[in-house]
Amino acid sequence: MSHQPLGLYIHVPFCTVKCSYCDFNSFAGIEDLQSEWEAAALTELSLWAPRLRDRRISTVFIGGGTPSLLPGDSIEQLLDSIRMQMHLAPDAEITLEANPESVQPDRLASYRAAGVSRISMGVQSLNSAELVFLDRIHGADRAEAAFAEIRAAGFDNVNLDLIYGLPGQSLETWQSTVNQVLNWCGDGPDHISCYALTVEEGTPLAARVASGRVIEADPDHVAEIADWTAERLEQAGFEQYETSNYARRGLKCQHNLIYWRNQEYAAIGPGAHGFLDGVRFHVVRSPRAYIDRLREPNSPEEAPEGLPSPAIAAAERVGDLENVIDALTSGLRLVEGIDEGALPAVYERVRPVLDWAVEHGLAQRRSGRLSLTKRGHAVANEIFVRLLEPTNA
């Protein structure tokens, strides 16, 4: 059995409303598909089981969408199906994403009984005007109450997602959000993800920006907020281990570390992305099409690259250089950086970009590892663009 950690991602496409900034594969108003989605997901797990028989699954991430809309017995069935057909590590990190308005004590108790070990809740802001701007349907009070319910259900590994850099957001309103969550239930969450708002193409927010109704935040102001955040969270006992992620007591997100370390993960559910045996793939995005494809599964030979699920829409074998660039663009987001010595020989083709970054104080080499400096993290995208220049192809 391979001892490389293997992640398993399960995508839940349901949301109560669609937030203005969101480009995830999530949909409001399709609740009537929930039981068919569940049946399809169970079928897809069974199709994957023989392929993953020799692998030990160290993390499961039930993401979305809003998985906390699902009843406890749905989550129980999914996790039982994994346990019965695959090798799920007894100490596996099992994360479920939640939103404050759908968190309920009885559901939380059943998630925990089913084996969920980590809750990741999308709070985003505690400022009423900012929540309205984002189309979030919960208020600050509900978010705090949901956190208390999560703790009361016994979860001792809880992440909160927050978003900064909103148009018109002052440093003070952001500071107020961060300071409040740090005091929830006495000592706040175990993990915080702070993402800068990005305007994603095709979202209602992008249309508002294009029409001039919304003016994006000034990048210098956003950088000031990011600097304050890093200092404040460090002072509160969090370790920054990735550009946007902070953990207490070593509770880094093991599933996301698999992504950032360019390791392997299987993926099921509409729109889910996976990486296995050198192949990147994604599942068909439409929940209806996903359900239809799994109702009468084709023979496995018909799935691309010999992958086991007929719901896989596309798959591509990753070339050596592409894989190195993937390892760099994800691994350099981590404070630990990457082990240059472990990269294959083709790394020499892009190494001059990293040498340039070191010469300019954007990256550093220490004990055989290459990592970005603070300045490098701030301009990481510029480094990544250079890695992708056609001269490297």
Residue from the set 59, 66, 193, 309 that interacts with ligand SF4 by CB under 6 A:
66
Determine the Cα–Cα distance for residues 137 and 161; give it in Å rounded to an integer: 15
Residue from the set 5, 122, 269, 308 that interacts with ligand SF4 by CB under 6 A:
122
Residue from the set 68, 99, 125, 169 that interacts with ligand SF4 by CB under 6 A:
99
Per-residue x/- marks for ligand SF4, 284-313, CB under 6 A?
------------------------------
Helix, strand or coil, per DSSP, at residue 148: helix
- Residues in contact with ligand SF4, counted by CB under 6 A, come to a total of 11
Residue 18 or 221: which CB sits closer to ligand SF4? Answer: 18
Residue 104 or 392: which CB sits closer to ligand SF4? Answer: 104
Q: How does DSSP assign 231-278, residue by residue?
A: HHHHHTTPEEEETTEEESTT---HHHHHHHTT-EEEEESTT-EEEETT
At closest approach, how far in Å is the CB of 191 from ligand SF4?
A: 17
Binding range to ligand SF4, per CB under 6 A, among 17-25, 218-226, 259-267, 330-338: 17-25
CA angle 382, 244, 20 (to 5 degrees): 90
Residue 66 or 240: which CB sits closer to ligand SF4? Answer: 66
At closest approach, how far in Å is the CB of 227 from ligand SF4?
A: 25
Determine the Cα–Cα distance for residues 359 and 91; give it in Å rounded to an integer: 43
Residue with tokens 């993937």: 326
DSSP state at residue 105: H
**Cα 102 from chain centre:** 19
Q: What would you report as the CA-atom Rg of the chain, rounded to the nearest whole angstrom?
A: 21
Binding range to ligand SF4, per CB under 6 A, among 14-22, 181-189, 226-234, 275-283: 14-22
Binding range to ligand SF4, per CB under 6 A, among 12-20, 67-75, 282-290, 295-303: 12-20
Question: With binding defined as CB under 6 A, does residue 15 bind ligand SF4?
Answer: yes
At closest approach, how far in Å is the CB of 9 from ligand SF4?
A: 14
For residue 159, give every residue at least 6 positions away whose Cβ sits within 8 Å of its Cβ, in sequence order, or none: 95, 118, 119, 120, 121, 189, 190, 191, 192, 193, 253
Q: Please tell me the total number of residues recorded for the chain in this structure.
A: 393
Question: With binding defined as CB under 6 A, does residue 72 bind ligand SF4?
Answer: no
Q: How many CB atoms lie within 10 A of CB 248?
A: 18
Determine the Cα–Cα distance for residues 269 and 261; give it in Å rounded to an integer: 23
Report residue 208 as tokens.
């508002």
Single out the residue of 284, 269, 283, 311 nearest to residue 65, CA to CA: 269
Residue 122 or 274: which CB sits closer to ligand SF4? Answer: 122
Single out the residue of 226, 219, 218, 217 nearest to residue 244, CA to CA: 226
Residue from the set 8, 12, 22, 197 that interacts with ligand SF4 by CB under 6 A:
22
Give the C-alpha distances (Å, rounded to integers) separating 236 from 105, 187, 247, 280, 365. Answer: 28, 9, 10, 38, 29
Residue 195 or 384: which CB sits closer to ligand SF4? Answer: 195
Determine the Cα–Cα distance for residues 347 and 363; give it in Å rounded to an integer: 16
At closest approach, how far in Å is the CB of 202 from ligand SF4?
A: 13
Q: How many CB atoms lie within 10 A of CB 2?
A: 9
Binding range to ligand SF4, per CB under 6 A, among 11-19, 44-52, 88-96, 209-217: 11-19
At closest approach, how far in Å is the CB of 69 from ligand SF4?
A: 10
At closest approach, how far in Å is the CB of 12 from ligand SF4?
A: 9
Residue 103 or 276: which CB sits closer to ligand SF4? Answer: 103
Interface positions, 170-189, toward ligand SF4 (CB under 6 A): none
Residue 66 or 309: which CB sits closer to ligand SF4? Answer: 66
At closest approach, how far in Å is the CB of 183 from ligand SF4?
A: 24
Give the C-alpha distances (Å, rounded to integers) separating 22 from 4, 174, 206, 281, 327. Answer: 33, 20, 10, 22, 26
At closest approach, how far in Å is the CB of 21 from ligand SF4?
A: 7
Residue from the set 5, 9, 26, 38 that interacts with ligand SF4 by CB under 6 A:
26
Question: With binding defined as CB under 6 A, does residue 384 bind ligand SF4?
Answer: no
**For binding to ligand SF4 (CB under 6 A), which residues are involved?**
15, 18-19, 22, 24, 26, 64-66, 99, 122
